[in-house]
Structure 1
Amino acid sequence: MDNKLVELRVENGVAHVTLNRPDKYNALNIELFQAIDKTIKKLHKNKAVRVVILSGAEGNFSSGLDVKSVSKSVMPALKLLFKWLPGNANLAQRVSLGWQQLPIPVIAVIEGFCYGGGVQIALGADFRFASKDAQLSIMESKWGLLPDMAGLAGLRQIMPKDKALQLTYTADIITADKALEYGLVTEVYDDPHQQAQLFADKLMQRSPDTNAAVKLSINKNWSGTLRSLLSRESLSQIRLLVGKNRSIAGHREIKKSAKPYQDRQSGW
């Protein structure tokens, strides 16, 4: 455990990250924001980590912002919102955007409550596996606020604009099945933890450099210009071709060997 508010456990290349404030349904106070931010930075430096499974403790992902805690004084709000330049990410935005910026696949396991800031964090993941009893809500408008944790960076890629507007305007609580229908979650399972582990095992069969390149290419090129897409694809492919994990991948496929991949290249 790296911080009592965030548990980090790494097993066989898979990092299990757990938001750990169960007495408050893993609601986000300033200390939890800081702990998530530190955990993302630690994962970025650990090139042996190849997949992340992100979840909440004791059956809930996160009930969102702990309004009472954050509004006790002006300092927590300043710590969350402060940034040197408008285009930079502040602390509140980094806990969502940071997962997208990790060069490794991130799977969010959503159980129980996933409201407001919890949804924003989950939107930073590459995949969202929900339990059948999960409840989701983009809840900020209920408090007279705008979602401002950079979750829109993920939301705009996975949902039609009218559905995103509908959920954001109304702050409606929706079921996991409805979230799947809207595209807000990737899959709905009886046991999303088990399915996340099975999917992580599948991802571990691919080169960590390839996984990093795929994530970079799709995230950057999804709404980018054609010229930037062509440039990024070519540069990434060259890096893969000269890397040792590319030859290991070929060896594994052609000779059906179990030769292990090396840690992710520097620079991804």
Structure 2
Amino acid sequence: MRIEISEGVADVRLNRADKRNALDPAMFAALVRAGERLKTEPGLRAVVLSGEGPDFCAGLDFAAFQAMRSGGRITADVDLPPATGPAKATGQRAAYVWTELPVPVIAAITGHALGGGLQVALGADIRIVAADAKLSVLEIKWGLIPDMTGTQVLPELVGRDVAKELTFTGRIVSGAEAVSLGLATRVADDPRAEALELARSIAGRSPDAVRAAKRLLDLPRDHEAGFAAEQREITALIGSPNQVEAVTASFEKRAPRFTDPT
């Protein structure tokens, strides 16, 4: 992660461009630690979250899917201080820490924001996207569910029916469609430049009023119960026969052969 702070605005970038900013143990840890650092940053007024290179974040690193074939989770190896909020699992913390920041967070999305990458973006307050960006709740491709707070956050943004359609199918939507669905806030030719301009505008407002507004607008539903339910479901799925088959078929470029539940 790269963090540059100027005049109350933190410019935060996922910095693994050669891997499309994919999520590996180091990236998970960096996301959490960056967010935790910014929670107490003096004089902070707003945050812009983006990715180095053409992509925001293409989701889990392929090594994670290889580990899942034997029931493993790469996040199990991430060393972090104990969680204090409702998000307990490492992946959940990597997304939810941006919601927990006391100041507005604006995600600038170009290229791919897939699976876990999209869930990180959902932790932001505002999402500015390129019209041709590609967003997807992609976990179903791998026989999984969104387990980084997505099942709880997504319905609040797009409605329950659209959230189900996106989650059940894993279809990729453009930035323009994402705005029409409520998944993103607005389209821009240069999302990062526009996000920085918006952040500077917010930074010029009363910080007390901005923080109070975020607290009120984020008054939560029972996230703790929902996040815990996510973890029960994902734990049962990882390494299960159908989940292994989903990954294997994808790597072998063939149609999966699933077994129906009994």
Distance 1:27 1:41, change over 3 A: same
| Cα shift at 1:47 | 2.7
Partner in structure 2 of residue 76 of structure 1: 74
Question: Over residues 161-214 of structure 1, what are the superposed CA-to-partner deviations in whole Å (9 max), with x where a residue is unaligned?
Answer: 111111111000111111111100000111112211221122112111211111
Highest relative contact order (Cα 8 Å, sep 6+), 1 or 2? 2
**Count of residues in Structure 1 that have an aligned counterpart in Structure 2:** 218
**Alignment pair present for 1:207 and 2:202:** no
Counting only pairs closer than 5 Å after superposition, residues 1-268 of structure 1 correspond to structure 2 as: 6-69=1-64, 71-72=66-67, 74=72, 76-79=74-77, 88-220=87-219
Q: Distance in 2 between matches of 1:95 and 1:84?
A: 11
Structure 2 alignment gaps of length 5 or more: 223-262
**Do the aligned partners of 1:29 and 1:70 also contact (CA within 8 Å) in 2?**
no
| Cα shift at 1:84 | 8.7
| Cα shift at 1:58 | 0.7
Q: Distance in 1 between matches of 2:183 and 2:73?
A: 33
**Do the aligned partners of 1:180 and 1:186 also contact (CA within 8 Å) in 2?**
yes
The one-letter amino acid paired with 1:78 is A
**Do the aligned partners of 1:70 and 1:77 also contact (CA within 8 Å) in 2?**
no
**Do the aligned partners of 1:30 and 1:70 also contact (CA within 8 Å) in 2?**
no
Distance 1:68 1:15, change over 3 A: same
Which of structure 1's runs of 4+ aligned residues deviate more than 6 A?
82-85
Tell me the SS of whatever aligns to 1:58.
coil
The one-letter amino acid paired with 1:151 is G
| Cα shift at 1:142 | 0.4
Query: Which is greater in Rg?
Result: 1
**Do the aligned partners of 1:159 and 1:182 also contact (CA within 8 Å) in 2?**
yes
Q: Distance in 1 between matches of 2:25 and 2:83?
A: 19
**Do the aligned partners of 1:25 and 1:61 also contact (CA within 8 Å) in 2?**
yes
**Do the aligned partners of 2:102 and 2:215 also contact (CA within 8 Å) in 1?**
yes
The one-letter amino acid paired with 2:108 is V
Q: Distance in 2 between matches of 1:174 and 1:71?
A: 26
Q: Distance in 2 between matches of 1:25 and 1:16?
A: 18
Question: Over residues 108-163 of structure 1, what are the superposed CA-to-partner deviations in whole Å (9 max), with x where a residue is unaligned?
Answer: 00000110001000000000000122010100000000100013343222111111
Q: Distance in 2 between matches of 1:14 and 1:53?
A: 7
The one-letter amino acid paired with 2:191 is P
Tell me the SS of whatever aligns to 1:59.
coil
User: Identity of aligned pairs, percent?
Assistant: 38
Tell me the SS of whatever aligns to 1:220.
coil
Q: Distance in 2 between matches of 1:76 and 1:63?
A: 16
Q: Distance in 2 between matches of 1:27 and 1:20?
A: 10
CA RMSD, 1 decimal? 2.4
**Do the aligned partners of 1:97 and 1:151 also contact (CA within 8 Å) in 2?**
no
Q: Distance in 1 between matches of 2:31 and 2:183?
A: 22
| Normalised TM-score (structure 2) | 0.77
**Do the aligned partners of 2:136 and 2:172 also contact (CA within 8 Å) in 1?**
yes
Q: Distance in 2 between matches of 1:64 and 1:98?
A: 17
Range with greater deviation from structure 2 (121-130 or 175-184): 175-184
**Do the aligned partners of 1:116 and 1:140 also contact (CA within 8 Å) in 2?**
yes
